[in-house]
Amino acid sequence: MLRHAKIYVVLSLVLHSGLSFALDITIPPSLQDKVTVSVYNDSTRQTVYSYQPNKPMLIASNMKLVTSYVALKNLGANFQWKTTLGYSGEIRDHVLNGNLYLIGGGDPTLTSANISKMLESISSLGIYKINGKLIYNGSIFNQNVTSSELYPEPFAAYSVDPAGLMIDGNLSNIKIKINNGKIKLSSNISNKYKLINQLKLAPQKYSCADPSSFITIQPQKNATLSLVGTIPSSCNNKNLPIYALNNHDYNITTLHSLLQKKNLLPTKGIVEESTPLNYKLISQTNSEPLGKILVEMNQQSNNLYAKTLLLSLGAYKSTNQQTYTEARQLYLQSLPQSQAFNIIENGAGLSRNEQMTASQIINILNELYLSPESQIIISSLPSPMQSGTLQNEFTNFKNRLYAKTGSLSDTKAYSGYFFSKNGNTYSISFIANNIGGKNHDQLLQDFKTLVANILTSLDNAKK
């Protein structure tokens, strides 16, 4: 009999008119001990639905919503990371007898093109030769984050950790070429790793926006990497990003290439060292403001950006004696006082330790909704048929559902805002844990159906 049991929850919606409507919401038996739900009416400022709202749960990338809240509160929407190029010594007969300094500010968006443009400024000083070193300094982060995800992939793009100076996201590329049904790979890391191509071509035709969705990189012995998966033909000429080089090696390799192209290789090499305080400024490049950074972080679930924002709290808003330790302390202190939340690991959700309740997430969403940054947050969230990780889900709610997604092998979460047909705005949080294993597909579908049913019920409520 228990297999057929159902839980019926009566949902009372209290609207502006004072009328209320009762709706029957069925929690599938398969999800009764696996989900937590909270829905808050931002229009009437009332909780209109909850199911186990105070149960701590893994929230996966919904953690990025919390990080957005903390970053906006401490760094501000206009915060920018800065990268600086300077020099010391004397310039004589177009020769710099001294050193160049490249000082990182932790910018995870810094590109080779940014660096190249900065190097062009050297010629404006009449420098055509550097009789010294190029010294780069990434010491603004003196500690790094930890991650305890269950199935880490050390070569995957999402595994890159922050660095004081990071160029191109610290990612190399493997070029995919498909010709006459054959898959060929080429890469600029072939001198460091041997690539074994075990990829197969899918018989069906479908899009390949991100080859990482189809390919797993499996490390083998003797610096060998196996690429395994089935890819569509549309992956032809696409690049597979790979975290193949540590930050120091990547920086040295990239800076050497950029300087060589401009005939500016320093006579004493490229090194990572501390920089003097009295260098002379040549050029500076800034990242986009935080408000724009959050769009990429939340819509594409960019883990590097989230982890970097966490460390930036320690680097820019504390004494920075211990970047990570101080960042975690400030992060926890910045949460609403009602939050009984004790563990912050990396701010990205790559964790088996970061847990929150649906009611805690609702508190943060409500504070954001009432804040001057509400539009920044809402516009940063994925939306059906429009952008990001929610693009192909819940398509019936286009232009009305804005929610951060979260996924681990056994976890799924959606938290954000829902604008119903009747004109109400809701803060929503739906979290499912322990949905892995052989029944994963069915449990995930049950959970998505539950989410859709509740949103439809909110839509159908009449004033």
Q: pLDDT tens for residues 310-330?
A: 999 999 999 999 999 999 999
Q: Determine what percent of the chain falls in helix, strand and coil, rounding each to the nearest 5.
A: 30, 30, 40
Helix (H, G, I), strand (E, B), or coil: what is residue 67?
Answer: helix
Per-position b or e across 378-417, b if 16+ CB within 10 A of its CB: bbbbbbbeebbbbeebbeebeebbbbbbbebebbbbbbbb
Are 123 and 16 within one domain?
A: no
How far apart, in Å, are the Cα atoms of 247 and each of 161, 172, 273, 390? 9, 11, 14, 32
Per-residue pLDDT, averaged over 274-280, amounts to 94
Does 155 map to a domain? Answer: no
Does 161 map to a domain? Answer: no
Pairing of strands 95-103, 134-137: parallel
Q: pLDDT tens for residues 76-116?
A: 999 999 999 999 999 999 999 999 999 999 999 999 999 99
User: What span, in angstroms and rounded, lies between the C-alpha atoms of 330 and 314?
Assistant: 8
Are 437 and 378 within one domain?
A: yes
Does 360 map to a domain? Answer: yes
Structure confidence at residue 52 (pLDDT) = 95
Structural domain count of the chain: 3
Which residue, 209, 242, 275, sits at the end of a domain?
242
β-sheet bridge partners, residue 11: 23
Are 233 and 253 within one domain?
A: no
Phi, psi of 271 (to 5 degrees): -135, 160
Are 443 and 344 within one domain?
A: yes
Does 201 map to a domain? Answer: yes
Check residues 336 and 427 and name the one with the higher pLDDT: 427
pLDDT reading at 270 higher than 80 = yes
Are 133 and 252 within one domain?
A: yes
Are 16 and 131 within one domain?
A: no
Does 335 map to a domain? Answer: yes
**Residue at token pair 């997604």:** 405
Are 225 and 332 within one domain?
A: no
Taking alpha carbons only, the member of 169, 174, 172 closest to residue 195 is: 174
Are 91 and 139 within one domain?
A: yes
pLDDT bin (cut points 50, 70, 90) of residue 1 is very low
* Residue type (1 letter), 388: G
Structure confidence at residue 10 (pLDDT) = 38
Does 274 map to a domain? Answer: yes
Q: pLDDT tens for residues 48-77?
A: 999 999 999 999 999 999 999 999 999 999
* Residue type (1 letter), 30: S
Which residue, 208, 224, 242, sits at the end of a domain?
242
Are 454 and 331 within one domain?
A: yes
Structure confidence at residue 4 (pLDDT) = 36
- Assess contact for 114 and 285: CB atoms under 8 A: yes
Per-residue pLDDT, averaged over 188-211, amounts to 90
Does 152 map to a domain? Answer: no
Q: Please, what is the Cα angle at 149 between 143 and 153, to 5 degrees?
A: 90
Per-residue pLDDT, averaged over 386-397, amounts to 91
How far apart, in Å, are the Cα atoms of 419 and each of 45, 66, 119, 300? 14, 21, 48, 22
Mean pLDDT of all residues belonging to the chain = 91
User: What span, in angstroms and rounded, lies between the C-alpha atoms of 187 and 318?
Assistant: 41
Are 339 and 385 within one domain?
A: yes
% of the chain surpassing 90 pLDDT: 84
pLDDT bin (cut points 50, 70, 90) of residue 3 is very low
- Burial label for 433, CB within 10 Å (0-12, 13-18, 19+), is buried
- Assess contact for 384 and 452: CB atoms under 8 A: no
What CATH number does the domain containing 426 carry?
Answer: 3.40.710.10
Structure confidence at residue 2 (pLDDT) = 34
Q: pLDDT tens for residues 118-170?
A: 999 998 899 999 999 999 999 999 999 998 887 788 999 989 999 999 999 99
Structure confidence at residue 296 (pLDDT) = 95
pLDDT reading at 463 higher than 60 = no
Task: Please give the residue range of the domain that contains residue 125.
Answer: 82-145+246-286
Are 64 and 107 within one domain?
A: no
Single pTM value for the model:
0.91
DSSP states along 130-172? ESS-EEEE-TT--S------SS--TTSGGGPPP-SS-SGGG-E
Which residue, 257, 286, 315, sits at the end of a domain?
286
Structure confidence at residue 115 (pLDDT) = 97
Q: pLDDT tens for residues 31-54?
A: 999 999 999 999 889 899 999 999
Structure confidence at residue 173 (pLDDT) = 94
Does 165 map to a domain? Answer: no
Are 197 and 265 within one domain?
A: no
pLDDT bin (cut points 50, 70, 90) of residue 231 is very high
